Amino acid sequence: MSDGPLAGLRVIDAATLAAGPLIATWLGEYGAEVIKVEQPDGGDPLRQWGSQKDGVGLMWKSVGRNKKCVTLNLRHGTGRDLLRELTRSADVVVLNLRPSTLRKWGLEHADLAVGNPGLVMVHVTGYGAGGPKSDRPGFGTLGEAMSGFAHLTGDPEGPPTLPSFMLADGVAGLTATYAVMMALYHRDVHGGDGQLIDINLIEPLARLLEQPVLTYDQLGTVPGRTGNRWDISAPRNVYLTKDGHWLAMSGSAPTIAKRALQAVGRPELTTDPRFAEAQQRLRNAGQIDAIMADWIRERTLEEAMDVFEEAEVAAAPVYNAEQLVADPQLRARNVHPVVPDRDLGAMRVQAPVPRFSATPGRIDHLGPSLGEHNEEIYGDLLGLDARRRRELREQGVI
């Protein structure tokens, strides 16, 4: 990309799987030049992750958008030397090697900063640097378990429930992306040097789940699973409609909760002390749930939504993927544009978020093939001649 708010920024994405590569993806949507570094023997495992079409990883196609892909064997000393060369002209490098491997390979921030004091390095690990578990392998599933998320998710009588998507990786990636922007602001506005950003898969998600810790610390109780209910608002649940669909509702604001009771024909409850005051509503959440469930069960999704939208109640249908891409609100905003692709012909992906009025994000292309930009990066950027590039290929370095 040649424009965008991050035009002129160079990012080296030498991480694998989800959290680290997502950071580079989001930066690349807004103009940063992203060079994706992958092992020659198969590349980022994300290429083989999840659903495939004709051997092409669909998730890779989206996460690999706008990136220039090169191969580089970091297990080879010459490969690590080339990575150091790449970082000399970079603003940001993203790595997710174990701390001991970074030290052994001479790729810690202090090592790379010798050749580029302004370099911002993001180091993504399962547990964070330091501590007894710092060198253990970690994945998002472990972060979702240890953050407290799984403990709170699911039915009260059922097991802890893990998400079927990359929640911990995504939250860590988002956290690290805004951390990169703060580090660059410190460097470029305040005249500071680059620095190391230490991010793991537990703490960012745990930050969103802080209330149980506050409750335990101050009240000595450990919150448990409540299904789709939540102990801060009522009504708050999903309800089955007459035609077999699910509808979600939130009564987080007292005015919305009262509107919901009025909409289902129970206006008298809006002045009943058991339901009119927030804390009392929580104590009687089961009764409110039953009232809502009974009313919704007798109506189709369309009938129930018509009533709730007219009454300005916070309710929404529970969408599957087919319904999501068909929603008129999302279609009007072109949330899922169709992007041409050499391998797939075209593919519908989600547009960049957030949206800027003057410098919107863009999708120039989807994930490239393995090593597609080797000649451009090693030849044009690093200045290696054809003979040297051939030697590196023969040695298994690139």
In the annotation, is 169 catalytic? yes
DSSP assignment letter at 362: -
Distance between CA atoms of 258 and 113, rounded to whole angstroms? 58
Give strand ranges (E) for 213-259: 236-240, 246-250
The sign one gets for the Cα dihedral 295, 301, 306, 308 is positive
Statement: 10-207+334-394 belongs to CATH 3.40.50.10540: yes
Average pLDDT over residues 2-30: 95
Binned at pLDDT 50, 70 and 90, residue 1 comes out as very low
Q: Is it the case that residue 354 has pLDDT exceeding 90?
A: yes
The answer to whether 124 touches 96, Cβ cutoff 8 Å, is yes
Q: Is it the case that residue 244 has pLDDT exceeding 50?
A: yes
What is the average pLDDT score of the chain? 95
From the list 13, 44, 169, 289, the catalytic residue is 169
Distance between CA atoms of 290 and 301, rounded to whole angstroms? 17
Comparing C-alpha atoms, which of 217, 200, 195, 228 is closest to residue 108? 195
pLDDT tens digits for range 113-162? 999 999 999 999 999 999 999 999 999 999 999 999 999 999 999 999 99
Comparing C-alpha atoms, which of 27, 83, 75 is closest to residue 381? 83
For domain 236-240+246-317, give the CATH number: 3.30.1540.10
Average pLDDT over residues 352-365: 96
The answer to whether 134 touches 100, Cβ cutoff 8 Å, is no
Q: Is it the case that residue 233 has pLDDT exceeding 80?
A: no
Residue 319, both tokens: 């969408």
For residue 354, is the peptide bond before it cis, meaning its omega torsion is within 30 degrees of 0? yes
Sheet holding 196-200, edge to edge: 67-71, 33-38, 10-13, 92-95, 120-125, 196-200
Q: Is it the case that residue 2 has pLDDT exceeding 70?
A: no
pLDDT tens digits for range 103-115? 999 999 999 999 9
pLDDT tens digits for range 315-325? 999 999 999 99
Exposure pattern of 88-110 as b/e (b: 16+ CB <10 Å)? eebbbbbbbbbbeebeebebbbe
Domain residue ranges of the chain, discontinuous segments joined by +: 10-207+334-394, 236-240+246-317
- Specify the pairing of strand 67-71 against strand 33-38: parallel
